[in-house]
């Protein structure tokens, strides 16, 4: 609202009058506006401190010796920064975190590829090809998005257990290769925003549907596909429930589950646990940082559509 007020009071031809220094009501308005601005920044800044401070505390704790964690008042910058907490924690876990990272990276990369390939194919089918029952099937897909996964995961778990694939990565990977409704829906929206005239032109030149998909639509929707890749990365990296259920051998664990295990085993060493927490968050933060512009834009686009 202040935006509008600014417009009303500062960008009007009234300003020259004020320069003559006669109109006190305008001066009062100006003072009010400055006070408003100061309040605004004060609220924004204190909110930002509240939001950021747990992360600062996490990094600070990860660099402390064990003895300083309980210290009151909080020691924000430890006198001797304990970088070795990171190395110690990384290697004290059995197997070391390198294994968990390799596992998580493997699963995450496989799932991103699978999800992108399958969702874009399915979304293309729904967005571009007119086939029997298409709209009904699409509605069905939207309806299944409301189904909580708890309803189906017990039979799915029993199925993987029966064919002996529990404690392998397959139960975590194969379902992702079969798409999910949310990503199909999002990609379909993007595909539909591209004119079908391109398809028609390509078809006159004798192109089949797959050529139109791979040569026209995919290159044109790269930013949207990037957004989905990033969301898939964050989701897979943070996923806790499925690895918790399917993986039980220590050497197979993902970072999320291993981190939890590490914390229960090392409950006396809070700095080490915080160090591994920081390390677990770094990939997500890094991807967020690199893709910030696109990521935020993408959410904004999908948000408006929703």
Partner 1 sequence: MATQISVRPASSAGPTRKSSQRRRDNIAGFLFISPWIIQFVFLISAAMIVSLGISFGETDLFNGYKFVGLANYVRMWHDELFWKSLRVTAYYTFVLVPAGIVISLGIALLMNQKVKFVGLWRTLYYLPSVVQGVAVALLWGYVLNPRFGLLNAGLKVIGIQGPKWLFSETWAVPSFIIMGLWGAGGAMLLYLAGLQGIPTPLYEAAEIDGANSWNRFIHITIPMLTPTIYFNLLLNIIGSFQVFTSAQIMTDGGPNNATLTQVLYLYHMGFVNFQFGYASALAWALFVIIMVFTVLVMRSGNSWVHYEGDLKK
Near partner 1 in 195-214, by CB under 8 A: 199-200, 203-204, 208-209, 213
Q: Which of 17, 48, 87, 139 binds partner 1 (CB under 8 A)?
A: 48
Q: Read out DSSP for 207-222?
A: --HHHIIIIIIHHHTH
> Which of 18, 69, 207, 220 touches partner 1 by CB under 8 A?
69
Asked whether position 76 contacts partner 1 by CB under 8 A, the answer is no
**Under rule CB under 8 A, residue 77 binds partner 1:** no
Q: Which of 14, 57, 98, 170 binds partner 1 (CB under 8 A)?
A: 57
Structure tokens at 25: 């009501």
294 lies in the site for partner 1, by CB under 8 A: no
Give how many residues touch partner 1 by CB under 8 A.
97
- Burial string for 271-304 (b: 16+ CB within 10 Å, else e) reads bbbbbbbbbbbebeeebeeebeebbeebeebbee
Of residues 125, 169, 229, 242, which one binds partner 1 by CB under 8 A?
Answer: 125
CB 62 within 8 A of CB 278: yes
Cβ neighbours of residue 271 under 8 Å, at least 6 residues apart?
61, 62, 63, 64, 65, 66, 69, 82, 85
- Residues of span 8-27 touching partner 1 by CB under 8 A: 8
Q: Closest Cα to residue 221, out of 68, 119, 107?
A: 119
Please, which of residues 216-275 interact with partner 1 by CB under 8 A? 234, 238-241, 245, 256-257, 259-260, 263, 270, 273-274
Binding partner 1 (rule: CB under 8 A), the pick from 77, 94, 151, 268 is 151
């Amino acid at each position: 609202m202040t935006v509008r007020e600014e417009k009303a009071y500062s960008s009007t031809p009234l300003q020259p009058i004020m320069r003559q220094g006669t109109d006190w009501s305008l001066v009062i308005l100006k003072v009010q506006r400055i006070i408003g601005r100061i309040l605004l920044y004060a609220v924004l800044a204190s909110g930002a401190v509240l939001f950021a401070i747990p992360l600062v505390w996490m990094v600070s704790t990860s660099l402390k010796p064990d003895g300083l964690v309980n210290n009151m008042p909080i020691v924000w910058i430890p006198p001797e920064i304990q970088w070795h907490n990171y190395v110690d924690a990384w290697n004290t876990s059995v197997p070391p975190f390198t294994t968990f990272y390799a596992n998580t990276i493997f699963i995450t990369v496989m799932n991103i590829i699978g999800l992108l390939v399958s969702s874009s194919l399915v979304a293309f089918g729904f967005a571009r090809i007119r086939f029997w029952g298409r709209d009904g099937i699409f509605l069905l897909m939207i309806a299944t998005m409301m189904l909580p996964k708890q309803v189906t995961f017990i039979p799915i778990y029993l199925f993987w257990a029966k064919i002996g694939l529990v404690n392998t990565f397959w139960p975590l990977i194969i379902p992702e290769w079969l798409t999910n409704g949310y990503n199909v829906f999002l990609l379909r929206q993007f595909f539909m925003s591209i004119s079908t005239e391109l398809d028609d032109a390509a078809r006159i030149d004798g192109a089949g549907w797959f050529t139109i998909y791979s040569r026209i639509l995919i290159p044109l929707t790269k930013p949207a596909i990037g957004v989905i890749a990033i969301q898939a990365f964050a989701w897979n990296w943070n996923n806790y429930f499925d690895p918790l259920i399917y993986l039980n051998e220590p050497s197979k664990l993902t970072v999320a589950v291993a981190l939890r295990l590490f914390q229960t085993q090392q409950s006396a060493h809070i700095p080490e646990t915080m160090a591994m927490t920081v390390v677990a968050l770094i990939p997500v933060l890094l991807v967020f940082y690199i893709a910030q512009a696109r990521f935020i834009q993408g959410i904004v686009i999908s948000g408006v559509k929703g």
